[in-house]
Structure 1
């Protein structure tokens, strides 16, 4: 009887060990499949960015162009103290420079990120995907861009004005356009520098285009976007 029980216990232990090995093998296989899927997703997103980003940058530039009107209004509100006597022509010159320099910095930092939402395998070497395009929200970096006391202090130091009081006297009197232009040019350099530093730290993203379709083909082991087709006239779905 004891021998029979011993045999039964050995058999049960063997079944448990076999079951544990089977579970471990399943977990290992699932992890490998997940790693492979993640790697494929990264490869596809890299391919989308490589093949399509130049075209979609034109869309981003158009968005920045639309924001330039808001920046121009912001320039008039934030740069020109009501107590300063500044000609309309100089205001326009400085406002245009403000918009131009901020837009230039924004374009330099406007990186696009392509994020796949669906991957449908047509064959081993062909997939249909749906993806979003995201970009960092740089607009909040313009908040607080104003000529405050700190900026004025830097302008006095860099522009070789004798003191803040001397600068104030010049700005509140008529004439002296070259000196006033110098004041604003130095102030703009300070503001643009702060803007450039601020946007480097922004991580918030907005979806600028969503649910876009694409077909990718693997050729010689590497993915390539075959649809849409980017042409000189734009982008075409075939």
Structure 2
């Protein structure tokens, strides 16, 4: 027993320098993220602060940098803005068009119907999902690994140097993930202004084609629901489906 405890203690001592090295490099990345946050609109900087973990913050910062001048116009609505939109002619037109699509789908596919969430996705919900989604975590980890390699280059002496910060911004904006993250960075999701709608296929009270990326081929492509939904939406103001990441249920509304 004493020998086992001794081995554990030795392993812990060996791992301690590695943990310290990882902590110091994450501290360096966080300093770059702080410099980036200063250049962002106040709402965006606040959102970045509430994203958990350096890897996820890097992934969100990348999206904000790539949004560029469109960041403010794309930003998710507040509760007051969502409530005001719910009283607007545009929202009524969206409801009417969605109902027409639903009826068309039902006539083309007897026994089945469409469900669509007609509420804007709040910023708080976007942050919560981004912080807990496992696929986002994997993409963020890939970026985090390459970001550590990037700041180890001689050009990155300090996050206090403007040239180094600009270089890191370009690295983030140019980085391409091996697989697209399934969620947009909080604040710039098209769902935040109700410009995107996710459809689900229903049979009675049962969902036969849900919004789950892990079951796309089985529940959407193989049974033909991807094509059938496209057919029902032809001639409408819905554009899609989303291709990257591949979401056959996700359509953008362009009135």
TM-score, normalised to structure 2, is 0.27
- Point out the structure with max Rg over C-alpha: 1
More strand, by proportion: 1
